[in-house]
Structure 1
Amino acid sequence: MNKTIRRASVFCLLLVLALLVRVTWVQAYQGQALADNKNNRRNLIGQYENPLGNIIVGGTAITGSEKTGGKDFGYKRTYTDGPLYAPITGYSSQAFGTSMLEGVYKNVLNGSDSRLKTVMDILTNKRASPGNVLTTIDKDVQKAAYDGLDGKQGAAVAIDPATGEILAVVNNPSYDPGRISGANDKAAWDELAADKGKAMENVALRKPQAPGSTFKLVTLAAAIENGLVTSIDQPTGVPGNYTIPGTRTKLPSEAGDEACNNVSARTALKLSCNNVFAELASKLGQDKMRAMAEKLGFNTQIDTPVRTNPPSKYPTKKLSVDQIAQTGIGQFDVQATPLQMAMVTSAIENGGKLAAPHMVSEVTDSGGTVLESFKEPKTQQVMNPKTASMLQDAMRTVATEGGGKPAQVAGAEVGGKTGTAQRGVNNNIPPLAWFTSYGKAGGKQIAVAVMIENSDTDRSEIGGGRLAAPIAQKMMAAWLKK
């Protein structure tokens, strides 16, 4: 063999060896990464090759699958009462991906989660039978909130304070996720997205807004915890004709200066006197106010397991004294979701203990074997039991004598707090109407928060007690009267 042929042979051998090394590398080390790549269409086809697992409410599946008759996708997702449960399920779309529980548990529901695989599945490299997601949602509380919000733009959340189980998550407007579950539903998607996604926006969990006077519960909790208020029936000494500290601006209260002059914390909460809570916040200072808010969940992303992003917010940048005063009444840069305000009330009702809120109780395989359980959530003592008791006492007065009267449930103890949050430049946007409350009877308890963004009510009539409290009442009654 001459020299040229020998060199060519060696070169070809090296090329073959390089090719073998590359193939081995791809199959042994990069194969899984390529298989899991989001742009791998085979994965998408595999997800919808067979029926999906289900999301379950009260023992009944609220999702399903139907044959498409198509070449690539054998099945597509269907929904029972889609708009009712959309804030919980989200969507599973062949064209647009997944969201909410459909997204969090995508691999369980489509059978690709490794925990679902049997020995036979591993040997045959077959996709496992899909699992199911069991929620904590109560269908009656969910329906009460949904019906109550009819004709209004807003959201509502209910929690069992003792367990942290989320009983209801409702948005209005809502949407039917079944409209966008197929591969050719772009027209429906464009229609839903036309109004900046408002129908698909999860206001209850993911749109923090000014909580208004409902935040006064946090302010009063901080004042009691820090010894600034030792009795809810002792006069506070705050004048009704009150000027915001560091300014010449008067801070009016809806009840009037005279009614809010030198009142107790109980009366201040009942009449929602801005002067008292602005002064308490001013005396406490930003650090103590923020510390109390953060104990209750502000400035923290909460996994329910749907993540609250962005989180509810108490300002962390340094504030001026007048800005701190405004935070005491739930204005300036304070922002909260209905979930967050339900958490505040939940901790108050539960003796100062905040159980981690969650909307999933168990994740199982197709045979019912539990893969994940959330029945023993983390619980944290966020305020002294005495503080919680004093707040409950003051909230009961709001519900029996104040603006929370529409929330009363026959045979139950109810406490509440109204709120009206101003919006826009010079209040040029209709205010938010808030109401948060707790109810307990017969060994059962519930915490609720309702927020109305807009309604057909005249601007002068917008208020938490008038608009939101009746919805909270229906939700509490649905749970307590079971």
Structure 2
Amino acid sequence: MNTPIRRLSFVVMAMFAALLLASTMIQFVQAKSYNEKPGNRRALLKSYAKERGSILVDGNAVAVSKPVDNDFKWQRSYPQGSTYAAATGYFSFIYGTSGVERGYNDLLSGSSDKLFYRQLPEILTGKEPQGASVDLTIRAKVQQAARNALGNQRGAVIAMDPKTGAILAMVTSPTYDPNLLSTHDLNAVQDNWKQLTTAKNQPMINRVIGGNLYPPGSTFKLVTAAAALESGKYKPDSELDAPAAIKLPGVVRPLPNVTGRACGPNDRTTLEHAIEISCNTAFAGLGMDLGQDKVRQQATKFGFGQQLTIPMNVTPSTFPGNLQQAQLAQSSIGQFDVRATPLQMAMVSAGIANGGKVMRPYLVQTVRDKNLDVVQSTDPSVFSDAIGSDVATQLKDMMKKVVDTGTGRRAQIPNVEVAGKTGTAETAPGVNADVWFTGFAPANDPKVVVAVVVEDGGTAGQEASGGSVAAPIAKAVMEAVVN
């Protein structure tokens, strides 16, 4: 064999080896990831050939597949429309999946290895296997209360069981109807998608766990207070400087209290009273005294900067780095570049309510096969030990005073002790503040923790505060649980 032919044979052999390697990688190594891509039409069309499992709330289907007389064979339907869209997500032939529809796709579609042996009878008889059903932790009564209380205001509401991390309600507003994306009229789906994704009010964003996040305002004072108590340098009755305004290093404009007055006689107040009346100057000075490392470390223990799935990915909340003193002062009251999801602020309150332990939030309780046998279930687990139990008790007592006699009085529930913290967060010059409330009830045996944010002051506009707008929403949600 002459040299040119020998070289050509080597090239051909190398090409065959490359082809064999590529086909092996695609068909065996990468096959699962390709199949699970949200927009994989071939996988989606295959999934339409069998009945997709239902998503349930209190035993009632909020996402269900119905037989249809066309090539798709099954139609995904959302009987409650937009009520549970933040949790279920959508199932679309063109645009794939989101929410629980994506997070539990392999079980809902019946393609999970966990279902293989359970599906053997159908496989052996040539029948299409049926997907598993997914039971959400959401409670219909609590979800409806949150939806009604928030109304048409832009914002979000999250309710959880602080002892387990189970999510009891997840409402984001505005929202959308998943039926608009699950219809088999593909032209209509494309039109609906364009309208939803280009809408100025961004209805496709789940504001509970993502989007542009929010400055948490004075609700972040819980984190600063926790850092102070954990440091051992401060107690609830420790006195702090609390003038009407505080001069910040390198900044011309002083940082004022909302009231324009000092927070106590002789420009002094206690840590406990500073939480109760939400004193800006006291907490700005407290943050600078503690130092950014202690405040940031405490925020991290509550979950800031950490990855979380519920099963949807949660955008990590942030506490900025490399702060100058003035920036630290502003960050210590939840301003400057501090950004948080409502879920994150609910986790802060949940840690306080649960004796210092933050439980890992979750949205799915059980997965069942067609015979209603449990395929998998979620066991409560600890996300972090954020604070000591003694500090948690001290903060809980402070938060009770916020609702009893402080800025959160409109969260009071008759015959039920409530703990909470309000927040009013400036976002931009000339724009109404975002308003917050986070808290729990009953205070001494918490069954529900909530976080509420209302954008741009909601219907109250520039007159809004966390106590006047967000607290009543939280009250309605907590009442749905405790009553």
Q: What is the CA deviation profile of residues 393-429 of structure 1, one whole-angstrom value per residue up to 9, with x for unaligned ones?
A: 11111101112111111221101111110012xx222
Cα distance change of structure 1 residues 275 and 45 upon mapping to structure 2, 3 Å threshold:
same
Of 456, 474, 477, the residue aligned with 1:475 is: 477
Cα distance change of structure 1 residues 63 and 238 upon mapping to structure 2, 3 Å threshold:
same
Other-structure match for 1:337: 341
Other-structure match for 1:228: 233
Code of the aligned partner of 1:91 = Y
Other-structure match for 1:67: 67
Q: What is the CA deviation profile of residues 178-217 of structure 1, one whole-angstrom value per residue up to 9, with x for unaligned ones?
A: 1111341111111211215711100011132100011000
Equivalent pairs: percent with the same residue?
38
Q: What is the CA deviation profile of residues 448-475 of structure 1, one whole-angstrom value per residue up to 9, with x for unaligned ones?
A: 0000013553433111111111010010
Unaligned runs of 5+ in 1: 1-10
Q: What is the CA deviation profile of residues 24-77 of structure 1, one whole-angstrom value per residue up to 9, with x for unaligned ones?
A: 989877545558545764322111112210111112221111234332x11121
Instruction: Work out the CA distance in 1 between the residues paired with 2:475 and 2:252.
Output: 40
Of 246, 253, 262, the residue aligned with 1:258 is: 262
Alignment check: 8 A CA contact 1:62 1:79 kept:
yes
Q: Give the alignment of 1:69-468 within 5 angstroms.
A: 69-71=69-71, 73-118=72-117, 119-120=120-121, 128-183=129-184, 184=186, 185-195=189-199, 198-207=202-211, 208-230=213-235, 232-260=236-264, 261-309=267-315, 311-316=316-321, 318-424=322-428, 427-440=429-442, 443=445, 445-454=447-456, 457-468=459-470
Cα distance change of structure 1 residues 22 and 221 upon mapping to structure 2, 3 Å threshold:
closer
Instruction: Work out the CA distance in 1 between the residues paired with 2:360 and 2:80.
Output: 28
SS in 2 for 1:83: coil
Code of the aligned partner of 2:349 = T
Instruction: Work out the CA distance in 2 between the residues paired with 1:165 and 1:202.
Output: 18
Instruction: Work out the CA distance in 1 between the residues paired with 2:414 and 2:370.
Output: 43
Alignment check: 8 A CA contact 1:132 1:364 kept:
yes
Cα distance change of structure 1 residues 352 and 91 upon mapping to structure 2, 3 Å threshold:
same
Moved more, 81-90 or 438-447: 438-447
Q: What is the CA deviation profile of residues 279-335 of structure 1, one whole-angstrom value per residue up to 9, with x for unaligned ones?
A: 1111111111110000000001211121102x111113x111111111110001100
Cα distance change of structure 1 residues 23 and 398 upon mapping to structure 2, 3 Å threshold:
closer
Instruction: Work out the CA distance in 2 between the residues paired with 1:358 and 1:169.
Output: 11
Code of the aligned partner of 1:113 = S
Instruction: Work out the CA distance in 2 between the residues paired with 1:304 and 1:182.
Output: 27
Following superposition, the deviation at residue 220 of structure 1 comes to 0.5
Instruction: Work out the CA distance in 2 between the residues paired with 1:124 and 1:21.
Output: 39
Following superposition, the deviation at residue 19 of structure 1 comes to 12
Code of the aligned partner of 1:366 = K
Following superposition, the deviation at residue 124 of structure 1 comes to 7.2
Alignment check: 8 A CA contact 2:50 2:128 kept:
no
SS in 2 for 1:103: helix
SS in 2 for 1:76: strand
Alignment check: 8 A CA contact 2:91 2:98 kept:
yes
SS in 2 for 1:269: helix
Q: TM-score, normalised by structure 1?
A: 0.89
Alignment check: 8 A CA contact 1:154 1:454 kept:
no
Q: TM-score, normalised by structure 2?
A: 0.89
Q: What is the CA deviation profile of residues 117-168 of structure 1, one whole-angstrom value per residue up to 9, with x for unaligned ones?
A: 2344666787532011111111111111100111311100011111111111
Moved more, 200-209 or 437-446: 437-446
Following superposition, the deviation at residue 18 of structure 1 comes to 12
Cα distance change of structure 1 residues 115 and 444 upon mapping to structure 2, 3 Å threshold:
same
Other-structure match for 2:5: none
Cα distance change of structure 1 residues 124 and 68 upon mapping to structure 2, 3 Å threshold:
closer
Cα distance change of structure 1 residues 62 and 117 upon mapping to structure 2, 3 Å threshold:
same
Unaligned runs of 5+ in 2: 1-7
Code of the aligned partner of 1:168 = A
Instruction: Work out the CA distance in 2 between the residues paired with 1:22 and 1:263.
Output: 74
The aligned length equals: 465
Pairwise CA RMSD: 2.8
Which 4+ stretches in 1 moved above 4 angstroms? 17-30, 32-40, 120-127, 441-444
Code of the aligned partner of 1:48 = Y
Instruction: Work out the CA distance in 1 between the residues paired with 2:101 and 2:357.
Output: 30
Instruction: Work out the CA distance in 2 between the residues paired with 1:296 and 1:395.
Output: 17
Q: What is the CA deviation profile of residues 86-136 of structure 1, one whole-angstrom value per residue up to 9, with x for unaligned ones?
A: 100010111110001001111111111121123446667875320111111
Code of the aligned partner of 1:280 = L
Instruction: Work out the CA distance in 2 between the residues paired with 1:359 and 1:314.
Output: 26
